[in-house]
Amino acid sequence: MLVLIDHANLKEIEALYDMYPYDGVTTNPTILKNEHKNPIQLLKDIRALLPSGCQLHAQVISDTTEGIMEEAHFMLNEIAEDMFIKVPVSSAGMKAIYLLKSEGVNVTATAIYTAMQAFMAGKAGARYAAPYVNRLDNMGADGVQVAADIHQMFRLHNMECDVLAASFKNSQQILNLCKKGVGAVTAAPEVLRALIQHDATFTAEENFENDFYSLVHEIKGIDLNRKHD
Ligand code: G3P
């Protein structure tokens, strides 16, 4: 399961990569807005930060197929030709997914709230389908189950599309999807950090360190080379 960073702050991305080899970065217009910078330059800067082989996903905003195609071509030319173009699964978006796929572009179908939307996006040629897990939970649906159902449908129909689950509030939602075998998740820095942290690990580490130094203190004066009877 790929694990990506759903964020656009350069310092945060750098700090996260300093601790762990994540698989890439996803953004959306809201995430970019939070940085108050020229979005194209920011995406270029994020791309430059990423180790080779890592993915960058950025979203179009047009609501017509022509507009989506124009924006996609602009981003591919300006930022990186191997980047993933995120396209919301509207009617115009579905047509754009099909057209972009026919040009060999990596497409992530996004803003997915139903399994059927994901299935149709996969059939149109999307490489990833991004269901919004926590937003679904907040609507009274079961976001993890929707994402798991989509994964199962993709495998059942031998489709070349994977779930890239997005919108997480906690690490348990990610763990549950990991158990279901989904292809990828993307989450905000605080959720990613919670995947690793556990107070019991910190306490165990501290106890081991204390025991070691206590042993060092105890053996001071003992000749370790002396043969004992
Ligand atoms: O790109 C979609 C995802 O980032 C949405 O997350 O936390 O705004 O629901 P959230």
| Structure confidence by residue, pLDDT tens digits, 125-148 | 999 999 999 999 999 999 999 999
| Residues 164/108, Cβ–Cβ less than 8 Å | yes
- 9 C-alpha vs ligand 1 centroid, how far in Å? 15
Number of domains observed in the structure of the chain? 1
Is the four-CA dihedral 39, 138, 118, 161 of positive or negative sign? positive
Would residue 98 count as lying in a domain?
A: yes
* pTM for this predicted structure: 0.93
CATH number, domain containing residue 126: 3.20.20.70
pLDDT of residue 219: 86
In the predicted model, what is the mean pLDDT of the chain? 96
List pLDDT tens digits, range 94-117. Answer: 999 999 999 999 999 999 999 999
Would residue 212 count as lying in a domain?
A: no
pLDDT of residue 168: 98
Confidence of residue 220 (pLDDT cuts 50, 70, 90): confident
Would residue 206 count as lying in a domain?
A: no
Q: Containing domain of residue 90, as a range? A: 2-194
pLDDT of residue 142: 98
Residue nearest to atom 10 of ligand 1 (CA): 167
Would residue 62 count as lying in a domain?
A: yes
- 218 C-alpha vs ligand 1 centroid, how far in Å? 54
pLDDT of residue 228: 56
Would residue 205 count as lying in a domain?
A: no
pLDDT of residue 30: 98
